[in-house]
Structure formats: C-alpha cells, structure tokens
Structure 1
C-alpha cells in the first residue's frame, strides 16, 4: 500500500505542475478577455434558460437545460465541496481557498466556451446516437492529426470518473464518525457492497433516470448542507471577517503552508478544478446531452456551475473548517472527517447525522453522473454497442474505493483530471473563435 501511495503521489504531482496550472488559469483569463466578459454579462438570461423559459422539447438531445445542469452539478457539487476543500486547506493552508476562488472566477468563462463547443460539435457513436464531450469536439472540430488528444481524454476519463473517491469518503465518514469501534476492513467492504447495489439500481436505468434522481435530490441536499454551515457561521459571525482576511493574506504569503506561493497556487487551482471541473471536460459530456439546437444557450447554463459549486458551497466549507481551527493539527483526520469534526464541535451528534445524510446523497448522485461520463469514454474507445458492459466494472470499483486509502484515491483521480484538462483546453483554445462567432449570431437573433 505504501508503494501505491508513492506512485499515485508522483503521478499527481507530475501532472499538476506549473504548465497545467498556467493552461487552466491562463486559458480562463484568455476566454474572459477574448469574449469581453460576455458570460459574466448575461447571468440573468442564463438563469431564465435554466428555469425552462427557453426549453425546446422537439430539438435534439436527451435532457432539458435544467436536467443537464443538474446532471453536471451532481458530478461537480459533491464531496469535492466537502472533502476536496478540507484536503486543499490541509495541503496549502487558508491561501489555497483564494486560488480555488480564482479558478472558479475564470472557470465561468471556461465553462461557457467548453460547453458551447460540447453542443456545437456533437458527434455520432457507432450506433448512430448523438453524443457530446471533448473527444467528440476534437474528432468533429479539429484536423485528424489531433485525434490522439481525443484518445488521451477518453483514457484519462475512464480513470478520472471512477467512483472510488466518493465511495472512499462515505466509508471514512461511517467508519470514523458513525461506527468507530467496528473492524475497518469489514466496515469498508460492507458499505462498499451497499453503495454498489444502490448505484447499480440507478445507473442500469440509463441517463434519464440519473438526471431525474439528480434533479430531485441534489437541490435538497445542497440546501441542507448550506443551511447547516451558514447556521454555524452565524453563531461565530464576529470571527468570519478575520477568516476571510486570512484566506486573502495567506494566498500571497511565500512562508505559508503548501510549499510557498507557487505551492499554494498549485494546490488551490488543482483542488478548484477537482471541485468545479471547469476546463476538465467532464461537464461537457453532460451539457452535450442537452435538448437544444442553440449551443450558446447551453454554454450560458453551464457557466453557472462554478458560482454555485466553488464560490458558494466551497467557501462555506472552508470557513467552517478554518473556524474550528483543527486543520493545523488534525489529529489524523483528513477529507470528510476534518469537515465533519468541525461541524460536530457546535452541533454534536445531530451534525454528524446530518453530514452522513448529506454525504450519502451527494456521493451517490456524483457516482451516478460519473458512470455516465465513464460510459461515454468507454463507448468512444471501444464502441457504444458494448458500452453496457462498463456498468458492471463501474459498480465493482465502488467496493474497491471503499477499502483503500484516501491518499491513493485522491491522487489517482486528481492526476487523471489533470490529464483530461490538457486535450479539453487545447481544443477549446483552438476553437474559441467559432464560439464567439456563434455567440454574436445568437445575441443578434435573441437580443436580451
């Protein structure tokens, strides 16, 4: 296990170096400037689209705009908002949160461009079904010489979309907070089997069932979690300004935790990408299934993801962890348990129970969506006609994730996310001119 941890850490560190961070941050800044901040200026219209005012039932695609956003958010707004933030603070200190914010702000523009392309360049699989995602953007929109990038994305996607992180963190919460006296191996295997059964029931119903479950459960759980964290912050409201100040000051402190300024930036951006997935490309696969013939319209819906995901939910999590003060001396706690312990200090067992319910639902909805992403990568590589076999493999990895260490799981998924971002960002930068041409045409026809 120690060798596996070392190999996974080396893999993640090699991928999440300065070049990739510059690609994500620099690319997002370029999209914002190149578009003259167009995505930021049309939030009202994006909200109207999400609320169904512009749904077109007869147009191509599987999901409504709201369902596509819910499916995408169920992949992004999950344990990355709870565990991922805890891991970011533990690795980079409070300053890492600031760089998560920065990744989200530029991620708004990035998601507008990537998800607009996800609809513009949908392609047919070998069964003739319409599909979206970075691999199809590359295949349909770029010269044949760039096809290896589509393969790279799909291979990395098969690993990065595995449900092992969600299974691991739910198991950790139950093992450490709910049944701390039980045998950890048996607990992990048992929880893994139960989760595998739950996931199997949903994903064998296909994407429409996944979207219906996400639309129903995700808002309830997010509101519950926000209510819990906001209530805690209100109890200690006088301390919040100082915490926000520490986030900003530590972000530029070369002596802070995380290996200096560059180390903090690397941690913050990588955890931000893990949380909101802007530029990674997973969300493009969900939005590419939207029922619309207006690519720009879906890009506008998609750009709301980083706001809800990172700027709101992740910020609440960060403040709760910093308020507890245990991140500097966690006592062996990490990820989900660090966040839960912070909430337990004020809400006791009630807080633990609520965290378990929230974690169960968020991890489940994320796993449902990750199956869809992984299946699309599998279908692109090996053929949609045998794609249904992937479900069995996916369900099996839930049990694997429940029985291995958090370090191995997080490094493996995080490194794979980084690999996915490379082809996604390269293709989006190359095709950005076509996105702006489509945007100008859209707003000429629909002046809001």
Structure 2
C-alpha cells in the first residue's frame, strides 16, 4: 500500500542523546508487508532519514548531499580532536523502527540502486532498549562514490530495504530522497535558540569539545560553524585543463617556464601567480555567484574557465588547483562573507592574491594589441590586485590571530590525505567502499 508522510529528522547525538524532530519535505514511500504468524502485519519502519551537515542546516535537512557524504569520513579524521565532529558527522542513514523486542535479531538488507550498492547487516536489539516503543538504527550505506562524485543535477532517488526479524521477512520499505547535485555545498551555518532550542542547548554543552573545528557563538548568541574543509573536494590539481593552461601561457610568451619544485626563491612563485592572472584576463573571467535554492553551487576550474565566470569560492578553488599542480603551498582564507587564497613563499612571507578582485577590474586588455603593450597592461592589473589583496590581508590576518569569530584558514595540502578532490581515483573509491562494509549497524536511544 502507499502512504504519504511528512519526513522528519530525529536529531541524534551518537553519545546517546536524541532530540526534537525538524520538518522536511513530503515524499512518497511504498510499503509491502507480508502477513506473518509471529509478527503483526503493521508497518514496522517509520522513516529513514539523512544526517548530512551535522543535522544543523535546516533548509535541506533530510536530503542526501554528495558533497558531505563523499567527505564525511575525511572530516572525522581531519578533526579527530573534536567530539562535536565525531558525534555529529556520518554518511550513514538513520532508521526509525517499531521495537520488535530486546534480543530479536534484526536483519536489514539494502538493495542496490542508482547511488548505492547492496549491503546486509544483522544485529540483536539491545536489552537496554526493551522498554522503548521505537528504536533508532544507524545504517551504513555502500555508497556508489563514482555516481555521487559525478551527480550533476538534484533529483529524487529511491532507496529500498528488506527487513527480517529472527530470520523471518516482515517488511519491504522504499523511501524517496532528494539527492542534491555534487556541486551543492554549505560551508557555513548559523542556528539560534528559537530555531531549535533542544539542539541549541546540546551545542552549548559541546562547545568545550569543539577542538580545532571552527565553531563559535556570535554576539547575538547564535551558534555558527564553518565547514570550510569541504572546499577541498572542488580543488582539482590533476585536471588536464591545468596542464593545458600552463602550456598556453608559455606558448603566448608571457612566461618562458613555470615553477619547479626545486625553486628556492620567491620570484618563480610570484611569476606563477602572474601567469594565472594573465589567463584570467585572457579568458575574460567575471564575477557571478550561484546558489542552488538554499545552498552554494560550486564549479571546478574546468567550468570556471569554460563559463568564464565565478565567485570567490569557485575562483579560490580554481587558483588552488593551479597552485597545487605546481607544488605551491596554498591556503584558503575564510573571512565573514568571503574567501580568498594566499601562498607561503620560500622566504617565509605570506603572499595573498584575491582572484575575485581581478574579476572586478573595470576593463580587461585588448588581446589583439602588441605583445609588449598587452603584457604591460595585464601586469598593471595584476599589481593593482596584488596591492588591494595585501592591504586587506593585513587586517584580516590580524583578526585571525586575535581569534575573532568567522576567520579561519584551510591548508589545502595538509588536508589532502583526508579530503581528496571529487575527481577521485578508483583506489580511493574502493577503500571507501571497504570502510563502509566494515562498519556495523548502531542502535541509539529514543528521543527524550
């Protein structure tokens, strides 16, 4: 039979605390429940919910977000010192199910689909949950990492489970989820007490255990965090486009060669940044920002240069792709409402260069003029951006050192071992699949 329900997310901390539900969108769920002699023919499964983005970004709570699913395990490794991240970060799904009784062996078989492979797991209902009307079970998913990393449009997908108690089939459950495009991402979140009082109170208890994860309370007593590490997925230093752009800027005669890993002086590093500036001007890159309903939409360097446009996050990721390809140590500097890159020079100096400022250049050079005139004009534009970037960086970096909320730095090279590009290789996909298969199902208590 068919039933239409309004999905709810039951806020759960893996520490054993479940809190108030938050509303999400309505989807169509299908149930087929065979009659059995030992168990009633009533529906056993109430819902299955997504736990993406620390459960806190309420506009799309309940959706499947490849940008988070692909990086959830990496985030936990990166922020191993944060109890908040450890307890609230998972790519698993949460199933709410009527309690069949303590000691009952429950087998959940997830059927293969567009974004997942088959997966079977069995566990007995813990004795301590014997008095709970419902139990909540975290279900590992054999995610299809290739499909998710190439998921270009947000649309509905159906996930299907078969449930057995003590070896006896009791229900087949299908639920539709919105699977967001891999380009959708949320770096920042703010939550005030009025939006979710229970969650707000829980977070207050976690503040002393945030570790290195950038989170804080604002002057308005709002809880905010910056999941800036998620930008790593959109940095693609191995894109063939980067090598083509390097060949192009050399063929144009703007530089004779680009940086070698053996470079010991600052000048080759700055020349490489000038080369990127030249290419931005040649392709006529302009500023434009993209949102996908309630999320930022981020394109990689390939799309930025193909579309000849981008905004601060896209331009910074494109710049970082260029730098990492040449072994330049690049960092992304997140400030309130903006992000831009800076590099570490061999001299130890920090060198900021904000590509967004280049996009605001009033007029790009005429590339049909003589080479000398062209290069002189592109250099003047570069130097103007260099000056503005350095002036702003001084005050921003002072705010970072003073510990002001909203200022954080992402060392892209340092996080690479945890958070690879979404242009991920087969070995990474296989290792992630094996990791999912090694995770057991987990029971958590009912809401209080």
TM over 0.5: no
Under a length normalisation based on structure 1, what TM-score does the superposition of the two structures give? 0.22
More helix per residue: 1
> Per chain length, whose mean CA-contact separation is higher, i.e. which structure has more relative contact order (CA < 8 Å, sep 6+)?
1
Under a length normalisation based on structure 2, what TM-score does the superposition of the two structures give? 0.22
